[in-house]
Amino acid sequence: MMTALQESSEPKRIHPHKFTLWVALGSIVMMFAALTSAYIVKKNQSSWLEFDLPRIFWYSTFTILLSSVTIHLALKAFKAREMSRYRLFITTTAILGVLFILMQWWGFRDLESRHIALTGPKSNSAASFLFVITGLHMVHVLGGVIALLVIFVRAYRVRVKNYSSLPIELVGTYWHFVDALWIYLFIFYNWIG
């Protein structure tokens, strides 16, 4: 009786992989906080160029929000061991992630077609900051897409030997994080910065 009581009173420990992920997410938050702070400081210069964000950034925002829903549904299906639904949702999430990256790239091309140079001697700090911050976010989304592709390949194995939901939970947490980060950046670009 005493052993059962002692076991239940011990705090449940976080999995080491989850702890590592949370530490990494904390450092990413600090990096983007520093970049957006520098953006605000630099915006006060007289040479700052004002321009509208590409319209496709609105569509990419919807795309990444939808991908957060699909990764949530994938985890839910995996835990219910509905493998065909899990495969459908994990595939959809990966496709939406790639589509998000492509839309961001098309947004950059739209800016350049409006003669807003992102880099080089003709660039302005405003466009360069947008390119660096959004580009770094795209790199983090690409990392998430790679993790999704690993999960995707595992999902299509003939037999699943291990029904541990830890990998999909980790990828899901990371994916929701890059989604929330983009929402922050999108709001920042449109209304704060």
Q: For the segment 58-108, what is each residue's pLDDT rounded down to a tens digit? A: 999 999 999 999 999 999 999 998 989 999 999 999 999 999 999 999 999
DSSP one-letter string for 80-144? TT-HHHHHHHHHHHHHHHHHHHHHHHHHHHHHHHTT--SSSTT--HHHHHHHHHHHHHHHHHHHH
Average pLDDT, the chain: 89
DSSP one-letter string for 15-58? PHHHHHHHHHHHHHHHHHHHHHHHHHHHHTSTTPPP-PPPTHHH
CA distance 26 to 13: 19
Domains contained in the chain, CATH given: 53-192 (1.20.120.80)
Instruction: Map tokens 């947004």 to a residue.
Output: 107
CA distance 174 to 180: 10
Question: Which of the two residues, 13 and 69, has the higher pLDDT score?
Answer: 69
pLDDT of residue 46: 81
User: Has this prediction a pTM greater than 0.75?
Assistant: yes
The percent of residues above 70 in pLDDT, for the chain, comes to: 91
Task: Summarize the confidence of residues 25-33 as an average pLDDT.
Answer: 95
CB atoms closer than 10 angstroms to residue 80: 10
